[in-house]
Amino acid sequence: MATPEVRGRPARASTTIHREPPSKIEISVIPVGTVQRLRNQVEARITPEVPVPDDVLLIRAQDHASALRQSRRTYKQRLRVAAEIGLFRMSPSLTRFIHDHDNMTRAVARSTELARRARNSSGVDTLTYVNICIIAVRNRLSRTWTITTFSSCAREALKATGTIGPAIETLRGMLEDVVVHILTLWDELSLRYLDENQLKNVGPDHNIDDFGHETTVGVAGEHRVNGPISDDKMGHAQSKGNTNSLPTPPPSPARIHISNGTLVDDNLDDNDDGDDDKEDDYSNSDDDSYHCSICTDPYTNRHRAFSLTRCGHIFGKACLSTWINSTARNANLCPHCRATISPG
């Protein structure tokens, strides 16, 4: 029995059309919109994740310019080579060069646009706007300096664009206004500080008669300021609330020196004619007990002796009034025994 012949399927004719490689003209002519769209898509994914400061982008381009200068080539020559080769035939180093160049250009464009928006915005303060404008000018100068491969004509080339001059004049006017405003505020603060300081230097207005009475030196029960009183006896008397029990000091007077200033009373040196110029009998005495221990002048009808009710010590009334109304820290204490004579 004959075996049926198995015939294989006839081979299908190849209908696949193989595309020819693009010509040099097709490679060099790429739709600008396509490249821009793809670049925007890539930047949209990268920029939010890894934001790069403008300084870094400018330095990267400057590094390329520095390397080109060392090899005696220019930045513009490198750009022309990239334009002649085309996008799809660039070497990795040339690709990085173009990438960094584009980033530098976009950094300059962003800072310029930010300065334009800040100028038209009412919510940006003067100093912030000045800072934005300075960064924009710095970026433009850096770009020009890089493209010219650090040539000395970079500044002249930048001035030729006509964008630096107006920006500098605008900044100058704004900075002058800011300086005047700051100086005005400084003057106002200085005057306010002086007023507050003057109020602090005004002492209390105590009436000296509320803390004692005029007396004649030598009256019993009153203590002339002579020798110091021991702290133990003073503390014991103050704890009992009775300072009249303090012993009368020995007749060896101690002069009181005011630590926080010198007491000055212009009226003490006036020499007016009249009965007030007559001094008491003890004015010429050599005994220091008859002299004010604050100013060391003798007691007279014009410089009367005054006894403190709190401790009984005697001083010149005018000197004691100046003492308790001064701004010294211990002005509310007796100059001799430090007993509290006023609430302060």
Q: Which pLDDT score, from 0 to 100, does residue 47 have?
A: 57
For residue 15, pLDDT over 90 is answered with: no
For residue 249, pLDDT over 70 is answered with: no
Residue with token string 């920006």: 167
Q: What angle do CA 233, 235, 236 make, to 5 degrees?
A: 65
- Phi-psi map region of 276: left, alpha, beta (phi>0 left; psi -120 to 50 alpha): alpha
In the chain, % of residues over pLDDT 90 = 17
Give bridge partners of residue 212 from the DSSP assignment.
308
Q: Which pLDDT score, from 0 to 100, does residue 56 have?
A: 92
The pTM of the full predicted model, rounded to 2 decimals, is 0.41
Q: What is the mean pLDDT of the chain?
A: 73
For residue 52, pLDDT over 80 is answered with: yes
Spatial separation of the C-alpha atoms in residues 252 and 293, rounded to whole Å: 11
For residue 29, pLDDT over 80 is answered with: no
Neighbour-count burial of 207, counting CB atoms closer than 10 A to its CB (0-12 exposed, 13-18 middle, 19+ buried): exposed
Point out the least confidently predicted range of 62-76, 250-264, 305-319. Answer: 250-264
Q: What angle do CA 78, 80, 86 make, to 5 degrees?
A: 105
Q: Which pLDDT score, from 0 to 100, does residue 195 have?
A: 59
Q: Which pLDDT score, from 0 to 100, does residue 58 have?
A: 95
Q: What is the mean pLDDT of residues 136-155?
A: 87
Q: What is the mean pLDDT of residues 226-243?
A: 45
Q: Which two tokens stand for residue 38?
A: 């793809």
At 70, the pLDDT band (50, 70, 90 cuts) reads very high
At 255, the pLDDT band (50, 70, 90 cuts) reads very low
Q: What angle do CA 64, 67, 73 make, to 5 degrees?
A: 100
For residue 313, pLDDT over 70 is answered with: yes
